[in-house]
Amino acid sequence: MLEPTVSELQDIRRRVEQVAKLSDGLVKIGGLRLGLDGVLAWLPGIGEVYSTAAGGYILYQGVRAGVPLTTLAQCGALLLGRTGITAVPLAGPMAADFFTAHRWSARMVLKAIDKKLATRGAPVQPMRDGFVRRMWSGKRPVASAF
């Protein structure tokens, strides 16, 4: 597999951020972040399907970006645990609201992508919620809301 270009890495990074936000960060209530994953966990079967699909997408993007296998394995274990936890009646969906594995896994993948981008001289700018995003306006990075 060919090494992705800086442009491809940026696109992959943006996609992983979007899935993380959709899954575990649409609404913030105090220290709790809630997204589709937490809401759909309350619907038997549907929550597991969404969690598996979103987790698989994050892992797929990590593979495309050339993220190290150890990182992908850790993400896979987190995501598998997250999907499996909803099988426990009542307590499972409640735990899923706090176990934001998609967000955690996305951070691990993003960190690996950021290392690749840094070795290629791409600037990194932190965002308000702890994620990092690159948007270029000429040669200067521009902050953007997540």
**What tens digit of pLDDT does each residue of 64-85 get?**
999 999 999 999 999 999 888 8
Residues counted in the chain? 146
Burial environment of residue 2 by CB neighbours within 10 A (0 to 12, 13 to 18, 19 or more): exposed
**What tens digit of pLDDT does each residue of 29-64 get?**
887 788 999 899 888 889 889 999 999 999 999 999
Counting Cα atoms < 13 Å in the Cβ hemisphere of 38 gives 21
Collapsed DSSP state (helix, strand, coil) of residue 36: helix
**What tens digit of pLDDT does each residue of 131-143 get?**
544 443 344 444 4
Contacts of 26 (CB under 8 A, 6+ apart): 34, 35, 36
What's the token pair of residue 128? 């308000």
